[in-house]
Structures are given as C-alpha cells and as structure tokens.
C-alpha cells in the first residue's frame, strides 16, 4: 500500500526516498545530497530529522523491516490453504518479488555487504530482520507438524536466501521455483 507523497511528513518522505535510492543504488553510493534533492527538501531539513546519514539508514531499515516482513507474511498466508501449503507459498511470494521491475535484491543482505564491522547497529538490524523471518518460517513449520521445526526452518530460510541472492545476481526470477522444488523435498521428508 503506497502513501501519496503529499500526505507524508518530511521525515516520512526522507525515509521513503532513502529507501528507494538505497535499494536501487546502494547505501554508500547514495549521498545525502541526492536524498534531499529527490525528496524536495533541503539538507538542513534532512539534518533536522536525522543527525547523520547512518541515523537515516537505521530509520530506513527499521521502516522497511516493518513493511517487508508484514507484507511477506500476509502474502504467504494468502498463498496456501494449509500450514504445509504456506511453507511452499514462501517461494511463490519470492517469485513475484523477483519478477518486479524494481527488484534489486534484499536490502538487508545488501546493507550487510556494505557494513563490514560486526558490531554496527546497521548490521544488527539486518541480523534481527533475518532472525525474525526465520522465526516466522519456524512458526509455519510448527503449525505444519514438522518433526524438527527449527531444523526445517533453517533449511527453508537458507533456500530462500540463496534464491534471493541468485535471482539478484543472475536476474533469473525462476530461481524461486528451483528453490521451491528443493523445499518440497525437505518438507516431504520433515512432515509426515
């Protein structure tokens, strides 16, 4: 659900613009000048809302976390009639994401690639996002009756991550369906 630009506060507009530019161009390649210009605000206004670019990056990742994870969960749960079907729907949702014209890979994976120090708040947000996605998959595994839900969730999360990176690098949106075939074999083994 997209908000109209005119109904956004300056802060929200800066985050929305930063998200689009970070996703497309990368965080380090996107300067605050570009964000301010594309947002139609001054740098002074940008710095009134965010003390630094890193603070804007953190706010943008937090914002995207809420949007992306909630939308992912809604689509997965609409995709299957049973918990087991929901596990496979993960890869159908990924397929649709990979086919979008503005698919530039996972913003969190890309951010981790740009911030090499383990203890940065930016990396911590990225790790937390990935953990929450895996926890959701584990919940679905439990609901589906997996004998070892944590193990199956780790395997499915790894397939999803691998498909995401492969789709980004190869620009082949069918990687999700390849991962789905592998996921089906894992699910069939783990859920009687």
Give domain status of residue 128, yes or no. Answer: yes
Q: What per-residue confidence (pLDDT) applies to 118?
A: 85
3-state secondary structure the chain: CCCCHHHCCHHHHHHHHHHHHHHHHCCCCCCHHHHHHHHCCCHHHHHHHCCCHHHHHHHHHHHHHHHHHHHHHHHHHHHCCCHHHHHHHHHHHHHHHHCCCCCCCCHHHHHHHHCCCCCCHHHHHHHHHHHHHHHHHHHHHHHCCCCCHHHHHHHHHHHHHHHHHHHHHHCCCCHHHHHHHHHHHHHHHHCC
Q: What total of structural domains would you count in the chain?
A: 1
Expressed as residue numbers, the domain containing 65 is 53-190
Give domain status of residue 70, yes or no. Answer: yes
Check whether 139 has a pLDDT greater than 60: yes
Q: Average pLDDT of 20-41?
A: 96
Check whether 147 has a pLDDT greater than 80: yes
Give domain status of residue 64, yes or no. Answer: yes
Band of residue 1 on the pLDDT scale cut at 50, 70, 90 = very low
CATH number for position 134 = 1.10.357.10
pLDDT digits (tens, 9 = 90+) for 46-105: 999 999 999 999 999 999 999 999 999 999 999 988 999 999 999 999 999 999 998 999
């Amino acid at each position: 659900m997209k908000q109209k630009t005119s109904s956004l506060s300056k802060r929200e507009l800066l985050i929305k613009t930063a998200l689009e530019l970070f996703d497309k161009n990368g965080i380090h390649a996107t300067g605050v000048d570009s964000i301010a210009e594309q947002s139609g605000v001054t740098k002074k206004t940008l710095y009134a809302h965010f003390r630094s670019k890193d603070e804007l990056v953190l706010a943008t990742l937090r914002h995207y976390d809420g949007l992306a994870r909630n939308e992912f969960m809604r689509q997965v749960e609409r995709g299957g009639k049973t918990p087991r079907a929901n596990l496979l729907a993960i890869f159908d949702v990924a397929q649709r994401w990979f086919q979008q014209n503005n698919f530039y890979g996972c913003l969190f994976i890309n951010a981790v690639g740009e911030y090499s120090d383990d203890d940065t708040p930016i990396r911590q947000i990225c790790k937390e996002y990935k953990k929450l996605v895996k926890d959701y998959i584990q919940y679905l595994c439990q609901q589906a009756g997996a004998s070892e839900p944590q193990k199956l969730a780790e395997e499915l999360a790894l397939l999803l991550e691998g498909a995401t990176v492969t789709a980004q690098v190869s620009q082949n949106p069918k990687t999700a369906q390849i991962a789905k075939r592998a996921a089906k074999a894992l699910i069939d083994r783990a859920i009687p």
